Amino acid sequence: MKPILLLFGILILISQNACTLTNKKMDFNKLTPQEAAVILNKATERPYTGEYVDNKESGTYLCRQCDAPLYRSEDKFDSHCGWPSFDDEIPGAVKRVPDADGRRTEIICANCGGHLGHVFIGERFTDKNTRHCVNSISMKFIPDNKTKMEKAYFASGCFWGTEYHFMKAKGVIETTVGYMGGHTQNPTYKEVCTGTTGHVETTEIIYDPAKTSFEELLKLYYETHDFEQVGGQGPDIGAQYQSVIFYVNEEQKQLVEKYMKILSDKGYKPATELRPAPEFWSAEDYHQEYYDKKNGTPYCHIYRKIF
Ligand SMILES: [Zn+2]
C-alpha cells in the first residue's frame, strides 16, 4: 500500500504544480507562434521587418506578453541597425542577463521575463552611450493621444440603469458604478441605503474624446432618465437616487448649464443638481455591469429621444 500512496501523493503534487503554472500563464496575453518564437524561445526577428523600426510617434512601448510599460518614445533613436533602438528604459522595467552565447547581454521584461533583445554599451550613438536593441514583436506601442482619456460622473437613480446605457455608448472605454458626494470614506451599499451617508449612486465614465464628447454623453444622460423628478428616480426614493451631475472641469459645468437652459426652453423643469466632483468610491463587485450579468434591462431608465 505504501508505495502506491506515495505515488498518488507525487501525482497530486505534479498536477498542482501544473495548475499553478497554467494559472500564471493565463494572466498574460495569448501569443501568436511568431511572437512566442521571439518572446519565449528568444529568436530574433529579421532586421528592418518589425513594425516599430521607423515609428517616430510619441507614446509608450509595452511588453507584448504582459502589457508592462518598457520604453518611452523620447528614448528611441535611429541606429540604422534594423531594430527599434532605445538609449534608456522606463526605470525598473527591463532586466539584463548574460546571454547564452557568453558574449552579449540579453534584455528581458522585468515583469514576465519575456525576451526583448540585447543591450549594447559604448557604441556612442547617443550621450547615454547605450543601445537597447529590441524586437518590435516583443512590444506593443500605445500612442500618447490614445492614453488621454477623459472622465464624466453621472447620477440618474439606480446606478445599474445609468451604467447600462453608458457602457454601450460609442467612445466609452470603461464604466464603474459607485458612490459620490457624501461625507463618509469607502462607503458600502448597505451604508448608503441607510440614507445617512449623503452619497449618491453614481456612474464613472471613462471615454475617448477622439470618439465621443461630454456633450454627446450629456444628451444620453438626459434621454435615459426622468431629470424632472426630485428626490429620487422612478420607484427609488431617497437622496441616493437624486439626479446629479458631478463636473470635473469648468467646460463640463458650462455645458451642463447650457443644456439645462435648452431643456427649460423646451418646457421641461430639470431637477438635476450640478455639483463639483469629489472623490469617487467604487461600489461592490456585484453591482458592476449588473444588467449584463443578469441578462436584464433597466426598469426605470428607458431611452427617449429629446435632442
Ligand atoms: Zn512582460
Catalytic residue among 109, 158, 193, 300: 158
Strand-pairing partners, residue 107, are 96, 117
Q: Ligand 1 centroid to 230 CA: how many Å?
A: 51
Q: Which residue has the cell 525598473?
A: 92
Position 210 confidence tier, pLDDT thresholds 50, 70, 90: confident
Q: Ligand 1 centroid to 35 CA: how many Å?
A: 12
User: 273-276 and 280-282: which strand pairing?
Assistant: unpaired
Catalytic site residue 133?
yes
Give the pLDDT score at 15: 37
User: How much of the chain, in percent, has pLDDT values that exceed 90?
Assistant: 75
Give the pLDDT score at 132: 98
Give the pLDDT score at 23: 35
Given a cut of 60, is residue 20 above it in pLDDT? no
To the nearest 5 percent, what fractions of the chain are helix, strand and coil? Answer: 30, 25, 45
Q: Ligand 1 centroid to 41 CA: how many Å?
A: 14
Distance separating alpha carbons of residues 12 and 154, to the nearest angstrom: 51
Catalytic residue among 109, 112, 133, 300: 133
Residues 163-175: tens digit of each pLDDT: 999 998 998 888 9
Mean pLDDT of 158-165: 93
The answer for residues whose C-beta is within 8 angstroms of residue 117's C-beta and 6 or more apart is 44, 83, 106, 107, 132, 133, 134, 135, 138
How long, in residues, is the chain?
307
End-to-end CA distance of the chain: 79
Phi, psi of 281 (to 5 degrees): -110, 120
Give the pLDDT score at 290: 85
User: How much of the chain, in percent, has pLDDT values that exceed 70?
Assistant: 90
Lowest model confidence (mean pLDDT) among 44-53, 116-125, 190-199, 202-211: 202-211
- Domains by residue range for the chain, with CATH: 33-144 (2.170.150.20), 149-294 (3.30.1060.10)
Q: Ligand 1 centroid to 141 CA: how many Å?
A: 13
Among 205, 207, 269, 279, smallest CA distance to 243 is for 269
Mean pLDDT of 218-231: 96
Give the pLDDT score at 288: 87
Mean pLDDT of all residues belonging to the chain: 89
Lowest model confidence (mean pLDDT) among 41-45, 132-136, 296-300, 303-307: 296-300
Give the pLDDT score at 8: 43
Give the pLDDT score at 113: 97
Give the pLDDT score at 4: 46
Given a cut of 80, is residue 283 above it in pLDDT? yes
Give the pLDDT score at 242: 95
Mean pLDDT of 143-160: 86
Q: Ligand 1 centroid to 29 CA: how many Å?
A: 10
DSSP three-state, residue 165: helix
Given a cut of 70, is residue 21 above it in pLDDT? no
Q: Is 258 left (phi over 0), alpha (psi -120 to 50) or beta?
A: alpha
Residues 8-18: tens digit of each pLDDT: 444 434 333 33
Strand-pairing partners, residue 273, are 244
Of residues 25 and 36, the one with the higher pLDDT is 36
CB-CB contact of 64 with 84 (8 Å): no
- Strand order, beta sheet including 115-121: 76-77, 85-86, 130-134, 115-121, 105-109, 94-98
Given a cut of 60, is residue 228 above it in pLDDT? yes
Q: Ligand 1 centroid to 291 CA: how many Å?
A: 34
Q: Ligand 1 centroid to 6 CA: how many Å?
A: 38
Residues 81-98: tens digit of each pLDDT: 999 999 999 999 999 999
Distance separating alpha carbons of residues 138 and 29, to the nearest angstrom: 12
Position 1 confidence tier, pLDDT thresholds 50, 70, 90: very low
Amino acid at 92: G
Strand-pairing partners, residue 220, are none
Distance of CA 292 to the CA centre of its chain: 19
Position 25 confidence tier, pLDDT thresholds 50, 70, 90: very low
* Mean pLDDT comparison of 21-25, 201-205, 208-212, highest-scoring range: 201-205
Lowest model confidence (mean pLDDT) among 93-107, 151-165, 198-212, 290-304: 290-304
Catalytic site residue 300?
no
CB-CB contact of 162 with 156 (8 Å): yes
Which helix (H) or strand (E) segment holds residue 117: the answer is strand 115-121
